[in-house]
């Protein structure tokens, strides 16, 4: 499949051939959903924690004797029915939210989302290596000349480029990422996918099994 490539002025300069084993994969919503949920779960931070009766302070002795007081029997002030006591069935830091999905499934889902971007004309290929200087104004003018306009976009870099990262980071709804770190969750979080021609080669070398 061939799609046009744009220069800094937003003009179509040439056509780029996309590898069919990456950009022509039928979409399977169930697989993409499973991978996306697993990635979200793996990013989840388990910070909620309530102390149970073994963790709260106090309760070293019996509040009062068992019989003869006319009050209910209690063995410790750490009991959940006491104020300041432990919490029953509260959230615990020990809980593990991570989900394991096989590597082949993750790659297949990634290719499906990339193929969907191409099919919906949401993939923009650039015919220039990068920015000449660190300047947000220059980066913004490039985006305005492309179909992205004011929509959200993920800028895929073939490698870490300080000029591009610093220039695009102050633009709302635009994020940068290395091609080797692409994942389903990031692709689904942005409408447009923007990448230089060199990024396509990096994606192929990273995610296609050699031999």
Q: Which domains does the chain have, with CATH numbers?
A: 2-44+98-207 (3.40.1370.10), 48-96 (no CATH)
Choose among 21, 16, 39, 31: nearest CA to 207.
21
Burial of 51 (0-12, 13-18, 19+ CB in 10 A): middle
The tokens describing 58, both together, are 């106090």
Integer-rounded Cα Rg, in Å, for the chain is 27
The yes-or-no verdict on residue 9 having pLDDT over 60 is yes
Model confidence pLDDT, tens digit, residues 51-71: 999 999 988 889 999 999 999
Question: Per mean pLDDT, which range of 157-161, 187-191, 197-201, 206-210 is the poorest?
Answer: 206-210
- Kindly report the backbone phi and psi dihedral angles of residue 156, in degrees, each rounded to the nearest multiple of 5, phi listed first: -95, 115
d(CA 60, CA 70): 22
Q: Give the pLDDT score at 124.
A: 94
Mode of pairing for the β-strands spanning 192-196 and 123-126: parallel
Residue 166 contacts residue 129 (beta carbons within 8 Å): no
What does DSSP say about strands 153-157 and 12-17: parallel, antiparallel, or unpaired?
unpaired
């Amino acid at each position: 499949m061939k799609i046009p490539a744009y220069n800094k002025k937003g003009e179509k300069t040439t056509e780029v051939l996309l590898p069919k084993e990456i950009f022509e994969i039928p979409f399977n919503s169930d697989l993409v959903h499973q991978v996306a949920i697993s990635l979200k779960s793996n990013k989840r931070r388990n910070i909620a924690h309530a102390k149970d009766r073994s963790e709260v302070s106090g309760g070293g002795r019996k509040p009062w004797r068992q019989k003869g007081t006319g009050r209910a029997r209690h063995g410790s002030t750490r009991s959940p029915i006491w104020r300041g006591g432990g919490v029953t069935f509260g959230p615990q830091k020990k809980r593990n939210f991570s989900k394991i999905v096989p590597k082949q499934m993750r790659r297949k889902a990634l290719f499906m989302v990339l193929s969907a971007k191409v099919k919906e004309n949401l993939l923009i290929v650039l015919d220039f290596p990068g920015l000449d200087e660190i300047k947000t104004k220059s980066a913004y003018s490039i985006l305005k000349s492309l179909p992205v306009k004011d929509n959200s976009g993920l800028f895929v870099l073939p490698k870490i480029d300080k000029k591009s990262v610093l220039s695009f980071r102050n633009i709302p709804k635009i994020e940068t990422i290395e091609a080797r770190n692409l994942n389903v969750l990031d692709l689904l979080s942005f409408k447009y996918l923007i990448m230089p021609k060199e990024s396509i080669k990096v994606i192929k070398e990273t995610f296609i099994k050699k031999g």
